[in-house]
C-alpha cells in the first residue's frame, strides 16, 4: 500500500476514535444557579439601668503670682496639702494628675496695643477615684479645706461594666429575634436561620455632676451632699434572618 494512503487511513481512524470517545463520554451536569435567599433584617435595642459603685472626682488647685516660678511653687505646696487631706479622708482612693498648666495672665488694652503680662497662673487638676460613694462629700470638703478651689466634675461609673454590658447585649439580641419572628409571621413566613449578626458596642452613659468652684468653707458635720443616681448601659443588635413560606 502506498505510504500516502496508509497515512490517510490512519488519520481517518484517529478522527473516528476521537469522535467515538466524545460520543460515549458522559455529559457533565452543569451546576444550577443558587436560589436566592429571602431574608429579613431587624434591629433590637436595650437599655439596662444600674446603680454606680465608683466615682471619679476632678479636684483642682489654681494659684496666681507675679512670677511664674512663684505661681508654680505656691501651687505645688497647696496641691501637696490637698493630696494629704484626701488620702487621710479616704485611705483607699486612687489619685492621679490629669492636667497641669502654667500660663501668663494678660491685661488687654482697648486701642489695639500689645497686651501686657500681669502675672502667671498655675492650675493642677487631680482625679480622685473612689469606690466608697458615701465619702464623696467628705473628700470634697477635705480637699477644699486644704486649699483646693476647683471641683471640675464628678463622674459616676461601674467597677465591673462587663456584666451589665453583657446583659444589655442579651436583651437587645432577644428583642431583635422576637421582632424577626413577629415580622415574619405577619407576612406569612417563618424564620429558618440567622444569617448574620451585627452589634454596636454597648455604651455606658456615665452620670456627671458639675460643681464649678468649690465651696470656700466646709464643715465635717455637714459634708457636701452628692447623689449618685443611676446610669444607663445601651446596646443595639442588627439581625439578618432567612425566611421561607410557612407550610399550609
CB 240 within 8 A of CB 184: no
pLDDT at 17: 40
Any domain includes 24: no
| Shared-domain flag, residues 130 and 148 | yes
**Which domain does 76 fall in, by range?**
54-106+115-157
pTM of the model: 0.66
Query: How does pLDDT run across 116-157, given as a tens digit for each residue?
Result: 999 999 999 999 999 999 899 999 999 999 999 999 889 998
Most distant CA atoms of the chain, gap in Å: 131
Any domain includes 98: yes
pLDDT at 105: 94
Domain of residue 146, CATH code: 3.30.70.2970
CA dihedral sign, ordered 187, 192, 196, 202? positive
Any domain includes 128: yes
Cell numbers that stand for 213 in this block: 468652684
pLDDT at 205: 64
pLDDT at 213: 45
| Shared-domain flag, residues 120 and 151 | yes
Any domain includes 212: no
Any domain includes 222: no
Any domain includes 197: yes
| Shared-domain flag, residues 124 and 90 | yes
- Whole-angstrom distance, CA of residue 42 vs CA of residue 118: 63
In terms of Cα–Cα distance, which of 126, 130, 131, 129 is closest to 146? 126
Any domain includes 13: no
- Which segment, 12-16, 92-96, 198-202, is predicted with the most confidence on average? 92-96
pLDDT at 33: 59
- Whole-angstrom distance, CA of residue 135 vs CA of residue 126: 17
pLDDT at 74: 97
Q: What is the DSSP string of 18-78?
A: HHHHHHHSPPPPPPPPPPPPPEEEEEEEEEEEE---EEEEEEEEEEEESSHHHHHHHHHHH
| Shared-domain flag, residues 145 and 177 | no
Query: How does pLDDT run across 54-80, given as a tens digit for each residue?
Result: 999 999 999 999 999 999 999 999 999
Could you count the other beta carbons within 10 Å of the beta carbon of residue 142? Answer: 23
In total, how many domains does the chain have?
2
Strand 150-157 relative to strand 94-107, pairing: unpaired
**Confidence grade of residue 229 (pLDDT, cut at 50, 70, 90):** confident
Mean pLDDT, rounded, of the chain: 82
CA dihedral sign, ordered 176, 181, 186, 192? positive
pLDDT at 110: 83
**At 11, is the secondary structure helix, strand, or coil?**
helix
**Residues near 93 by beta carbon (within 8 Å), at least 6 away in sequence:** 86, 87, 128, 129, 130, 139
Helices (H), 91-161: 136-146
Any domain includes 26: no
Amino acid at each position: 500500500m502506498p505510504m500516502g494512503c496508509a497515512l490517510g487511513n490512519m488519520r481517518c481512524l484517529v478522527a473516528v476514535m476521537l469522535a467515538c470517545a466524545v460520543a460515549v463520554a458522559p455529559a457533565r451536569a452543569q451546576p444550577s444557579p443558587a436560589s436566592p435567599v429571602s431574608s429579613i433584617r431587624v434591629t433590637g435595642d436595650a437599655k439596662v439601668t444600674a446603680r454606680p459603685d465608683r466615682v471619679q472626682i476632678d479636684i483642682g488647685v489654681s494659684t496666681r503670682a507675679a512670677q511664674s516660678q512663684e505661681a508654680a511653687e505656691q501651687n505645688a505646696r497647696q496641691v501637696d496639702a490637698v493630696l494629704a487631706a484626701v488620702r487621710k479622708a479616704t485611705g483607699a482612693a486612687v489619685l492621679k494628675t490629669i492636667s497641669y498648666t502654667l500660663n501668663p495672665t494678660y491685661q488687654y488694652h482697648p486701642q489695639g496695643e500689645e497686651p501686657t503680662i500681669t502675672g502667671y497662673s498655675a492650675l493642677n487638676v487631680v482625679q480622685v477615684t473612689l469606690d466608697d460613694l458615701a465619702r464623696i462629700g467628705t473628700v470634697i470638703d477635705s480637699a477644699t479645706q486644704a486649699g483646693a478651689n476647683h471641683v471640675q466634675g464628678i463622674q459616676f461609673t461601674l467597677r465591673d461594666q462587663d456584666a451589665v454590658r453583657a446583659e444589655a447585649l442579651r436583651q437587645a439580641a432577644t428583642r431583635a429575634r422576637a421582632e424577626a419572628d413577629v415580622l415574619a409571621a405577619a407576612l406569612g413566613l417563618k424564620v429558618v436561620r440567622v444569617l448574620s449578626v451585627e452589634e454596636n458596642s454597648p455604651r455606658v452613659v456615665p452620670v456627671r455632676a458639675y460643681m464649678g468652684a468649690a465651696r470656700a468653707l466646709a464643715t465635717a458635720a455637714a459634708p457636701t451632699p452628692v447623689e449618685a443616681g443611676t446610669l444607663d448601659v445601651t446596646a443595639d443588635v442588627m439581625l439578618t434572618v432567612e425566611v421561607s413560606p410557612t407550610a399550609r
